[in-house]
Structure 1
Amino acid sequence: MDDKKQPIVIKKVFKGHGHHGGAWKVAYADFVTAMMAFFLLMWLLGSTSKSQQQGISNFFKHPSAIQGPGGASTSMIKLGGTKDMPTGPTQMHSIGGSRAPTQEEIRRAAEEKERQRMQTLEVELRKAINRSQALRPFKDQLLIDITPEGLRIQIVDKENRPMFDLGSDVLMPYARAILERIGDFLNHVPNKISITGHTDAHQFLNANMSNWELSTERANAARRALIAGGMDKGKVARIVGLGDTVLFDKKNPLAAVNRRISIIVLNKQTEEAMAKGDAYLTGAQTSTVQTASAPVAAPVPTPPHP
């Protein structure tokens, strides 16, 4: 047997880098995903309205703020496909572009904005009345609602608490105080106002005086009291006396509630109509109010004078 030892051979194996592994596949997948997200974003921007875009933005800014009965609400954002996209006048016709709104759409948007502004003004006025110690005792005589002409404030007579001396335009002290407080509030509102006087159905025995004159003179007396409270005299756009032609309580023509002063904060549409000479009296002619600050006492027979 050969005693010589066999030589030890060490074999070194070097791994090549020809195919660079699979890292490039991950990078490519990330790139494709990013491109898909980008094109999805472009599709959303071109296929949704401004309000829907705002809803999407609000959802991602405050994801927990929009809640429905079963959790997050899906009613504000619809992404089910083209069937959920807006159609008609507001539809987007190309990605990133849209047609100009029509005059009718602009008019409706302006009216909606003005309506919301009147609702805000109504809330502020009610808060002001509740804060005022002078007005709080007379809340049941202050009726506030919104008419096609604007925000209407009505001050109505109450049994044993009339606004004027019987058959005259002389204001009672409490009624003057109410009007002066309202005048101060209205002076901070940019809109012009309309003042309308109403009487009940009692008629004068004096042929030289009628409910027409009395209602007009009382509306003018209310104007003077508003100005005395701080309202600029230039804010008055119209003074109207309607006598007993527009009764608050038609079933009881002699009821005290029919004797009232109506002050309307005119919306922009009515102001423009008046400037053109074609203003209407929708607000003044509405005889029923459902949004009073407090219920008016049931009418009872009144003295034989308006």
Structure 2
Amino acid sequence: MASEKQQQQQQPIIVVRKKKGGSAHHGGAWKVAYADFVTAMMAFFMVMWLTATMTPEQLGGVADYFKNPSAVASRGSATVEGKMGPGGAGDAPIKVFDAVKNPPGAGSVDLKADAKAAEEKERKRLEELKKLLEEAIAKSLAMAPFKDQLLIDLTPEGLRVQIVDAQNRPMFDLGSPELKPHTRAILFELGRFFNQVDNRIAISGHTDTTPYAGGITGYSNWELSAERANAARRALVRGGLAEEKLSRIVGLSSSVLFDQVDSRNPINRRISIVVLNPAAERSAEASDRARVVGDGRAVDPPPLPPSGDAAALARAPAAVSARPAAANGPAAEAGAALASPQ
């Protein structure tokens, strides 16, 4: 027994270890980490690209979201309403994909191009209208003898026709708004012509700098020019111009002289009729909608004159201008100095 125990104790114990090769499998954890890294980088560059193409209002909405991630109204530049109210806690803090679908500048370029094309088309249409009017004047028995007193040109507001006084052929009696027979005949013809155009019409009356000497207290060239413009309106309407085509009637006295050197030149006494282009018509409507509140009452701002001289109109009293209403609508509001319609 002793010898057997000794043999067992002397017998060596062999431990077998498996050697791992250089290409042993490490698992897929590194792939997950790398995918997370790539996703984060893509998200980072996407955010950088979006912020570079977003408008200031959209950037303000993003800033407000992080400044105010709650349902409390923010005072930032562009908060967005959500189901929880203003702030960043709504269901749509910012319509970020609008910037992707419609990058800033893409739509604006198209709009500018369309506006420019429309403006060019309108200009060509008015040029054609100018040629037709000149031909009509040359063929008209009523207007041909007075073609030297009819000045036709294109202005930023549209097609302008000016009927000016001549030394021996005035449009009105001296110091009077009464039309001469030949002036009335000219306006009758123009009324029929302008009624064929879709554009609206603006009329302004002008005088020279000779002071009014009619003996009426408080009456001046402002009132005289306004009444002459209104007399021209009546003649145009009687000639066939529809009332709804009238945009405004303005008396500008001598604030917009034709002859800047000789302020008493008869040519300064004139009636200006403008076929308004769409841009001028929109400007006129915008000025009418803008109202200044003072002393508890609303006051209309001075209108843009057909001559385009806004500075001159700024000096003109608001009482000598009016904007006629449609034919079946209420009567046009006019200042005390403006003659009543018809």
TM-score, scaled to structure 2: 0.53
Q: CA deviation at 1:179?
A: 0.4
Where does residue 242 of structure 1 map in the other structure? Answer: 252
- Aligned: 1:283 with 2:307: yes
- Aligned: 1:172 with 2:180: yes
More deviation, 101-110/158-167: 101-110
- Aligned: 1:230 with 2:254: no
Q: Is the 8 A contact 1:163 1:171 kept in 2?
A: yes
Q: 2 CA distance for matches of 1:195 and 1:282?
A: 7
Alignment counterpart, residue 159 of structure 2, candidates 132, 136, 151: 151
Q: Is the 8 A contact 1:262 1:284 kept in 2?
A: no
Q: SS of the residue aligned with 2:134? A: helix
Q: Is the 8 A contact 1:196 1:284 kept in 2?
A: no
Q: 2 CA distance for matches of 1:138 and 1:104?
A: 42
Q: 1 CA distance for matches of 2:110 and 2:282?
A: 20
Which amino acid counterpart does residue 122 of structure 1 have in structure 2?
K
Q: SS of the residue aligned with 2:250? A: strand
Q: CA deviation at 1:282?
A: 5.9
Which amino acid counterpart does residue 280 of structure 1 have in structure 2?
L
Alignment counterpart, residue 189 of structure 1, candidates 176, 194, 197: 197
Q: 2 CA distance for matches of 1:199 and 1:268?
A: 28
Q: CA deviation at 1:284?
A: 4.7
Q: CA deviation at 1:274?
A: 1.7
Q: SS of the residue aligned with 1:261? A: strand
Q: 2 CA distance for matches of 1:235 and 1:282?
A: 15
Where does residue 114 of structure 1 map in the other structure? Answer: 122
Q: 1 CA distance for matches of 2:308 and 2:219?
A: 22
Q: What runs of 5+ residues in structure 2 fail to find an aligned partner?
A: 1-105, 289-302, 311-342
- 1:1-306 equivalences in 2 (<5 Å): 102-205=110-213, 206=215, 207-277=217-287, 280-281=304-305, 283-285=307-309
Q: SS of the residue aligned with 1:160? A: coil
Which amino acid counterpart does residue 254 of structure 2 have in structure 1?
D
Which amino acid counterpart does residue 140 of structure 2 have in structure 1?
S
Deviation sequence 1:138-182 (CA, Å, 0-9, x none): 000000000000000000000111101111100000000000000
Deviation sequence 1:208-239 (CA, Å, 0-9, x none): 21000000000000000000101101111011
Which amino acid counterpart does residue 169 of structure 2 have in structure 1?
R
Give the total of aligned pairs.
Answer: 188
Where does residue 49 of structure 2 map in the other structure? Answer: none
Q: What runs of 5+ residues in structure 1 fail to find an aligned partner?
A: 1-98, 287-306
Q: Is the 8 A contact 1:151 1:264 kept in 2?
A: yes
TM-score, scaled to structure 1: 0.59
More deviation, 148-157/270-279: 270-279
Q: Is the 8 A contact 2:203 2:306 kept in 1?
A: no
Which amino acid counterpart does residue 150 of structure 1 have in structure 2?
G
Which structure is larger by alpha-carbon Rg, 1 or 2?
2
Q: CA deviation at 1:285?
A: 3.2
Which amino acid counterpart does residue 120 of structure 2 have in structure 1?
E
Which amino acid counterpart does residue 167 of structure 2 have in structure 1?
E
Which amino acid counterpart does residue 112 of structure 2 have in structure 1?
E
Q: SS of the residue aligned with 1:137? A: helix
Q: Is the 8 A contact 1:197 1:261 kept in 2?
A: yes
Q: CA deviation at 1:103?
A: 1.3
Percentage of pairs with the same residue? 52
Q: CA deviation at 1:201?
A: 0.6
